[in-house]
Amino acid sequence: MAKRIFITATNTDIGKTHATKLLLKKYAQMGFRVGVFKPIETGVITEPTDGKELLNLAQKLNPEFQVLHVNDIVPIQFSLAAAPYVANKAGAINKETLLNALLRLEKLCDIIIIEGAGGLYVPIDKETMMIDLISYFKAKTLLITHCNLGCINDTLLSLKALESENISYEWVLNCKNLDSSFDTVSKPYFKDRFQEIFSINDDISKLAEKLLN
C-alpha cells in the first residue's frame, strides 16, 4: 500500500490544489513515485478542472500514470458546484467504489496525495462527511488554513475535529498577498499556541518530511 496523504482545508478555495501540487513535486524530487487522487469533484461541466490539472502534473512526475484517464483520478463527478450531498440530490455515494479506485492508483506509486473537496464537514451523502472519508482511507492529513481574520477560530475548530476522530495530521498556513493583517492580528496567537507554524510556500520540505512520519 502506498503512503496516503489526504489534503483538506478549513473551507473551500483555501489552497488544497496548490498544496497538492507542491507536495507532488517535492516527493518526486525526493525520489518517490508519486500519484494523485481526487475522489469527488463538483462543478464539472466538460471535464474535472482540478483533476485534469493534477493528473497532468502526476503524469510528468511519474511515467506510470501515463496510462490513466482523468476519470481514473476523479471517479465521481457532479455538474453543480456545491457540496456532493446537494450536487447528488442527497443520493448515496458508495465509499467502496472510491476505495477500489484508490487501490488501483496506489499500485502505480509510493506516495499518493488525496485531495478532498471543501472542508472537513462538507456533506457527501446522508451518512458521510468529508472527515469520514479521511478515516475510511486511513490517511494522514494535511490541513490547509487561510490567513484572513477568523483563521484562528477556523483552524482550531478543524484541528479539534481531526483530534476527535483520532486522525493523524499536520497543518499549514497558506497566506496570500492580500492577507496583510495576519502578522498583526492572528500570527501572535499561533506563535504562542503552537511550537511551530508552517507556511505552505516556505516550509514545504519540512512538511513533506513530517507527513511521512
Identify whether the C-beta of residue 199 lies closer than 8 Å to the C-beta of residue 172.
yes
Q: Catalytic pick from 16, 38, 52, 140?
A: 38
Q: What are the residue ranges of helices labelled H in the chain? A: 16-29, 49-61, 70-73, 84-87, 95-106, 130-137, 151-164, 182-185, 187-193, 204-212
Q: What is the pTM of this model?
A: 0.97
Report residue 178's pLDDT band, with 50, 70 and 90 as the boundaries.
confident
Task: Respond yes or no: is residue 16 known to be catalytic.
Answer: no
Question: Rounded mean pLDDT of the chain?
Answer: 97
User: Going by CATH, does the domain composed of 3-212 fall within 1.20.200.10?
Assistant: no
**Per residue in 42-71, pLDDT tens?**
999 999 999 999 999 999 999 999 999 999
Categorize the per-residue pLDDT at 179 as very low, low, confident or very high, splitting at 50, 70 and 90: confident
